[in-house]
């Protein structure tokens, strides 16, 4: 079993904001993989799907359970939900992937890492504080670098019409990166999708 968390903020007001692109990835994956229902537990919305055979590999067999979860605790308290799920399901940090936005990467760029610092991202900081380690995989999706605008205002803004097309493609590619991570491991996913 593997846990994939898409960080962001709950509610319609935040749905299409830059900060919510991580949440979009898990919901897009759920739709793509035919998730039957989403439930609420531990301060998050989640579903269970199986790893498609086309992504199966040495790190994950076809049909392996994947829990797709979107914390509803708001970005800065994401760790509460992550810790609760991981503890209840007895999933170690090396079987977890956290998907987030990144304002230091150009829109459309993906960057997966096996571990590392939070880079100033409060959602990642909350997760690391909750699990007591920075040794968990994370997939960052570039949302563009803010120019002449406050960071908070930028990440809570919607994508422009032109940006929305790039963001939608990025979300799909990120879904492929998540499934590659689940089946083939972090190294393969990094080589295929980073950049």
Annotated catalytic sites, by residue?
Answer: 19
- In the 8-state DSSP scheme, what is residue 17? B
Residues 6+ apart with CB under 8 A from 177: 110, 112, 139, 189, 192, 193
Yes or no: say if 137 and 115 are a contact pair by the CB < 8 Å rule: yes
- In the 8-state DSSP scheme, what is residue 67? E
Beta strands in the chain (DSSP E): 2-6, 39-41, 44-50, 65-71, 96-102, 110-113, 137-142
User: Tokens 């991981």 label which residue?
Assistant: 86
């Amino acid at each position: 079993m593997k846990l994939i968390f898409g960080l962001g903020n709950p509610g319609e007001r935040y749905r299409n904001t830059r900060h919510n692109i991580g949440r979009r990835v898990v919901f897009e994956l759920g739709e793509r993989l035919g998730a039957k229902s989403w439930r609420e537990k531990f301060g998050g919305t989640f579903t269970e799907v199986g790893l498609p055979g086309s992504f199966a590999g040495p790190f994950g067999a076809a049909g392996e359970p994947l829990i797709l979860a979107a914390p509803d605790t708001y970005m800065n308290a994401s760790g509460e939900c992550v810790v609760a799920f991981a503890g209840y399901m007895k999933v170690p940090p090396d079987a977890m992937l956290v998907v987030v936005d990144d304002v230091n990467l150009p829109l459309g760029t993906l960057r997966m890492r096996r571990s590392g610092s939070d880079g100033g991202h409060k959602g990642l900081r909350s997760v690391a504080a909750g699990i007591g380690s920075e040794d968990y995989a994370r997939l960052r999706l570039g949302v563009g670098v803010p120019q002449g605008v406050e960071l908070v205002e930028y990440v809570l803004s919607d994508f422009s019409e032109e940006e929305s097309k790039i963001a939608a493609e990025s979300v799909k590619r990120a879904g492929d990166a998540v499934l590659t991570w689940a089946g083939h491991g972090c190294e393969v996913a990094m080589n295929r999708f980073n950049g």
